[in-house]
Amino acid sequence: MSLTVAAIKAAKPKDKGYKLSDAGGLYLMVSKTGIKSWRVKYRLDGKEKAYTIGQYPDYSLKEARQERDIAKSKIRKGIDPTDERMEAKRLQRIQAQNLFGVLAYRWHELNTPRWTPRYALKVRQMIDRRLMPYLSDKPIHQITSADVLTVLRLMENEGIGETTRKVKNYLQGIFAFAIAEGLVENNPVTGITPALKAVPAVNHQRALPFAMMGSFLTSIDAYGGHPVVKLGLKLLILTMTRTGEVRFGRWSEIDFEKQLWLIPAERMKMKTDHLIPLSRQAIDVLTELKQHTGHTEWLLRSPNTIEKPLSENAFLVLLKRTGFKEHTTTHGLRSTASTVLNEAGFRPDVIEKQLAHEERNQIRKAYNRADYLEERTEMLQWWADNL
């Protein structure tokens, strides 16, 4: 006997679940909690099975019968509707995992340990702002060179060529990761450079001519700014370090007796410990600096709070106030030192080691383990004396 809508509505829960049969193997399963589910009983390969269509009233009696007929048509062809649904769900899960947004974040997570926290944050923000609104929900294998070009051209139209170049590099890395995972065969970013506007070369490392160094140091002394900022910039110049390495320096890293400064790997760009010999002039700067910040953790503590290091803009402001911003940057001061020391005849390997540059030649890097401490001690003292 076939079911009626009235019988379905009148069905109430009992102590145990029970069935209300319709025709053609269709029945309504009423659970003890009152949930009503449509199912189809069928046999395939000698086994009795049940295929769940869905719940009532999501599926009406008429719709449940239509779904039963579709399922039985598949069964006659040897297709198991239950297995087919499970496979569809499996493919859906795979597709969800292989969406661009999921893979982009996974690529970022895998690379984060080799980046500084600040750089990792910048990359994440760039992905969120520049890529996710356009590519997040697309399966990675469906993204074409045209899709990538559309995203990058939107950025070009904003006049941010250098940022466009960086985002293109991030995309290159994300798709290289997808290739390694076996999710795509080709990188759609490869070969699109000719379709983008050329980015003008930007010189971020304006080296201060050494002939101007004397007046520069004099102007630092004459400037009436905070002594911690002035001393910090002098320490940077004397040790040829990066801004972040000086700003986040701690007193626990300084050995006055051995005249050494050990910067731990986690704060270095190349993620290896960096031992810096301290010249007599660097020791003098640190001795004076200790009068201002020796009671704190930081070599260069913020003038505004004892718990934080100096602001990242402090040196830039000092360069601007002394009138030297148009001539150099803090990174450019490292270039000045490198140029002068090379011209003075110091060995390039020693200079590069002091600058904490990674050896690009991997074979040379593997066999070049010396830290040239004695030569660097002599070199930095010569540099300080000439300054």
Per-position pLDDT tens, the chain of length 387: 688 889 989 899 999 999 989 988 999 999 988 999 999 999 888 788 889 899 999 999 899 999 899 988 888 888 888 887 887 776 666 565 688 998 999 999 988 887 778 788 989 999 999 999 999 989 988 999 999 999 999 999 988 888 888 899 899 889 988 888 888 888 999 889 888 887 665 554 678 888 888 888 999 988 888 899 999 999 999 999 998 899 999 999 999 999 999 998 887 766 678 899 999 999 999 999 999 999 999 999 988 777 789 988 899 999 888 888 888 888 889 989 998 898 888 888 889 899 887 554 443 443 343 478 999 999 999 999 999
- Confirm whether 42 is a catalytic residue: no
- For the question of residue 269 being annotated catalytic, the response is yes
Residue 255: which H helix or E strand, with range?
Answer: strand 254-255
Catalytic, 242? Answer: yes
* CATH superfamily name and code, 100-195: Tyrosine recombinase, N-terminal domain (1.10.150.130)
The CATH code of the domain at 210-386 is 1.10.443.10
- Active-site residue, selected from the candidate residues 334, 353, 372, 376: 334
Q: Report domain extents, the chain.
A: 5-81, 100-195, 210-386
The one catalytic residue in 124, 226, 269, 292 is 269
Q: Is 327 a catalytic residue?
A: no
Active site annotation includes 93: no
Residue of 168, 230, 234, 242 marked active site = 242
Tell me the fold of 5-81.
Answer: Double Stranded RNA Binding Domain (3.30.160)
Contacts 24+ apart (CB under 8 A), 251-257: 251/290, 251/293, 251/294, 251/296, 251/297, 251/298, 251/299, 252/297, 254/278, 254/286, 254/299, 256/283, 256/286
331 is a catalytic site residue: yes
